[in-house]
A and B are shown apart, each in its own frame.
Chain A
């Protein structure tokens, strides 16, 4: 048993930390969020140069041989900066699926673009009716000669407005919520029949409703087999959970630091409000929520490569914690900042909004408590 970081991981953290400090302060971030595209291609290119996009992949795939712990370190620091560039969908979700389950030919065709920063990917798995169940798939993929034809709608696909490639879950056989018969397809967003309705999300990111109308893809677009599609997808979502748990640590740490600092300087009734015991205890509870989230984030990222049951239990257990802690820390940070916490001017509200989205992303507390209990 060992909870310490390697020297490489510490160097990685320092590098991402100083990059975010130097290039992604709150004002720069808000400029990017409010720009027409909503992300910075320049920053994305710098991620590639720094090796962040290659960090978790094996050397055979052209990567730097890291893993979930490296992703955790990166995501935590990106969280501190409220970075919107699509590291999670491109590298963690889609890159993860490709590196673990795609054929060598698929990897060769697609991974260099991810590692080099040329292509952005989005994982289109949720549907208007599916809520948090990834097996609830109505989008269909019908065999057509050598290839497939896709029809259906995917909901709230994070980063889809920026993406050139999608991984799409589609039903090849069986009923709406059957676990078997779900295929994962690599789809170029420019393919005829793919249309998107793009919009911002409440946390400053961008997403789309993506519609597939008789979209023809070739036979080699299918990743794995229809019998393994759901388990590949669930595994990817658990890796996504490990990553957003880490991202939320960055948010909570920033909020706790800002709140303590604010309460030490803000005076009312002639004294700093941090001298009031009722506020002190609130901040201690925020601190304890954060510390417990740290424990669970480390734990889940160490267990992502374990057997399926253990991985599910750990990721759902961690997601429950991050959902609860993030909600508490976010809400109380706003409360303790008073009226200022309500304004767009301070970063506090923006951290709170991202934490609020994270609670829902990949399934909320109730969903994961149930999954935790049945795992």
Chain B
């Protein structure tokens, strides 16, 4: 057991820092600092990902044969740590970390050649078609129909909570191709062109109050949409296997970097603002709450280090660990966002609708205040999405405890 870094690791850290210094330009920094939901404008996202791609770092988790960065587990940890510490944008996950692993594992050679390079180069924006208006936690109850019409599937139905669908060129969907047998056995995994006739997108406006066209989630409608047969990934009626495989990637992420960054911001705000004539940080209730969360985030970081270093030894992070990280990570995101809101006091009230807009007007209140309350509202989603935390506990009960 050893927590230290080698000289090569430290050199790599310097390389990451140098890259960030050059590529994380002020225009993107500004958007990141003001984002209410972790997303920035489509243009900024694509610009950032293309810069990563040029460096060969767009896909830290991909195998090298498909263009992955080829990091060691320790390098991957350092990379994530530095990106999070700088507050750099996340790469859009829907292509890179969701559909790509599924295509790599279940797709044909043609599908790999057709889709993976464009994901890597950020030429195509993907979105995720899992949930439906009637199917939330009980995902296998989904109803969107794909009928076999000879050379194509005819798709009808609707997907909901679809993040960034307004930007998307493609959507991967779980569709019902059979009503026979168990519900899970009639589901297939289908890739659909968002520009196809019969596809339409309607925004859903969340509590954080997004500006026009910056909404995070949408409902997507499919009305007699023709999808070519070659867009089926894996075998017909075996999409549930792909679906579950994808979810382990969606959930098994590190959280501590982002949490540490937000806590650092809270600490700095609380050192600046006054409460009863003294810095807020000296208020005993506030400082105890801050220390409590800092301790919990330290635990999160120690757990992530332990779990991801285990992956290096060739083990799979598995459903138990990914569900645990998801549950603890999102609980902390919610708690930390609450403390941030408490730190800014009355300046948690002003509402700025378009935080990403370039404006010459000065900010209201202290620097960085504008997105804090919207973020508090926005992150309520984290314990609901990707399988609610109650579902995560069901998974651990079954997969780990054998209940």
- Report A's interface with B, CB cutoff 8 A: 1-5, 69, 260, 263-264, 274-275, 277, 280-281, 283-285, 287-288, 291-292, 294-296, 298-299, 301-303, 317, 320-321, 369-370, 372-373
Which of A301, A320, A321 is the one whose CB lies under 8 Å from B1?
A301
Can you list 19 A-B pairs, Cβ within 8 angstroms, ordered by A?
Answer: A1-B3, A1-B309, A2-B1, A3-B310, A4-B313, A5-B1, A280-B394, A280-B397, A283-B401, A287-B324, A291-B303, A295-B305, A298-B306, A299-B305, A302-B3, A369-B292, A369-B295, A373-B288, A373-B294
Answer whether residue B230 sits at the interface, using C-beta atoms and an 8 A cutoff: no
Interface string of B340-370 (1 = CB under 8 A from A): 0000000000000000000000000000000
CB distance from A276 to the nearest CB of B (A): 9
Residues of chain A within 8 A of B324, CB atoms compared: 287-288, 291
Interface string of B287-310 (1 = CB under 8 A from A): 110111011001100110110011
Whether A287 pairs with B306 at a CB distance below 8 angstroms is no
Residues of chain A within 8 A of B2, CB atoms compared: 1-2, 302
Which of A2, A281, A295, A369 is the one whose CB lies under 8 Å from B397?
A281
Which of A69, A281, A320 is the one whose CB lies under 8 Å from B295?
A320
Residues of chain B within 8 A of A301, CB atoms compared: 1
Chain B interface SS verdict (over half) = helix
CB distance from B10 to the nearest CB of A (A): 12
Which of B287, B288, B303, B393 is the one whose CB lies under 8 Å from A295?
B303
Whether B292 pairs with A4 at a CB distance below 8 angstroms is no
Number of inter-chain CB pairs below 8 Å:
102
CB distance from A40 to the nearest CB of B (A): 31
Whether B291 pairs with A3 at a CB distance below 8 angstroms is no
Name which residue of chain B comes closest to A256, CB basis.
Answer: B401
Residues of chain A within 8 A of B299, CB atoms compared: 292, 295-296, 317, 321
Whether B3 pairs with A299 at a CB distance below 8 angstroms is yes
Residues of chain A within 8 A of B310, CB atoms compared: 3
Residues of chain A within 8 A of B302, CB atoms compared: 292, 295-296, 298-299
CA distance A285 to B400 in the complex (A): 12
Whether B291 pairs with A369 at a CB distance below 8 angstroms is yes
CB distance from A191 to the nearest CB of B (A): 41
CA distance A298 to B305 in the complex (A): 11
CA distance A321 to B297 in the complex (A): 11
Residues of chain B within 8 A of A284, CB atoms compared: 393, 396-397, 400-401
CB distance from B154 to the nearest CB of A (A): 39
Whether B295 pairs with A280 at a CB distance below 8 angstroms is no
CA distance A284 to B324 in the complex (A): 9
Name which residue of chain B comes closest to A297, CB basis.
Answer: B302
CB distance from A248 to the nearest CB of B (A): 14
CB distance from B149 to the nearest CB of A (A): 42
Going nearest first, the 9 A-B pairs with the smallest beta carbon separation are A373-B291, A295-B302, A280-B397, A295-B303, A299-B302, A284-B393, A3-B309, A281-B393, A284-B396
Interface string of B362-403 (1 = CB under 8 A from A): 000000000000000000000000000010011011001111
Chain A interface SS verdict (over half) = helix
Q: Identify which of B287, B291, B390 gathers the most chain A CB atoms within 10 Å of its CB.
A: B291
Residues of chain A within 8 A of B306, CB atoms compared: 3, 294-295, 298
Name which residue of chain B comes closest to A285, CB basis.
Answer: B393
CB distance from A237 to the nearest CB of B (A): 18
Whether B303 pairs with A369 at a CB distance below 8 angstroms is no
Which of A263, A288, A317, A369 is the one whose CB lies under 8 Å from B403?
A263
Given A292-B299, A294-B306, CB of A69 within 8 Å of CB of B291: no
Q: Identify which of B4, B299, B305 gathers the most chain A CB atoms within 10 Å of its CB.
A: B299
CA distance A291 to B305 in the complex (A): 12
Residues of chain A within 8 A of B73, CB atoms compared: 1
Whether B400 pairs with A275 at a CB distance below 8 angstroms is no
Answer whether residue B77 sits at the interface, using C-beta atoms and an 8 A cutoff: yes
Which of B1, B4, B298, B403 is the one whose CB lies under 8 Å from A283?
B403
Answer whether residue B5 sits at the interface, using C-beta atoms and an 8 A cutoff: yes
CB distance from B103 to the nearest CB of A (A): 31
CA distance A263 to B397 in the complex (A): 12
Residues of chain B within 8 A of A264, CB atoms compared: 402-403
Name which residue of chain A comes closest to B328, CB basis.
Answer: A288
Answer whether residue B177 sits at the interface, using C-beta atoms and an 8 A cutoff: no
Residues of chain A within 8 A of B403, CB atoms compared: 260, 263-264, 274-275, 280, 283
Answer whether residue B327 sits at the interface, using C-beta atoms and an 8 A cutoff: yes
Given A1-B77, A280-B401, CB of A292 within 8 Å of CB of B5: no
CB distance from A363 to the nearest CB of B (A): 14
Residues of chain B within 8 A of A69, CB atoms compared: 1
Q: Identify which of A277, A281, A291, A370 gathers the most chain B CB atoms within 10 Å of its CB.
A: A291
Which of B303, B313, B396 is the one whose CB lies under 8 Å from A287?
B396
CA distance A321 to B303 in the complex (A): 12
CA distance A284 to B1 in the complex (A): 27
Name which residue of chain B comes closest to A2, CB basis.
Answer: B2
CA distance A48 to B257 in the complex (A): 45
Answer whether residue B74 sits at the interface, using C-beta atoms and an 8 A cutoff: yes
Whether A372 pairs with B295 at a CB distance below 8 angstroms is yes
List 16 other contacts, CB 8 Å, given A1-B2, A2-B2, A287-B400.
A260-B402, A264-B402, A264-B403, A281-B394, A284-B400, A287-B324, A287-B396, A288-B396, A292-B302, A298-B1, A298-B302, A299-B3, A302-B3, A303-B3, A317-B295, A369-B292
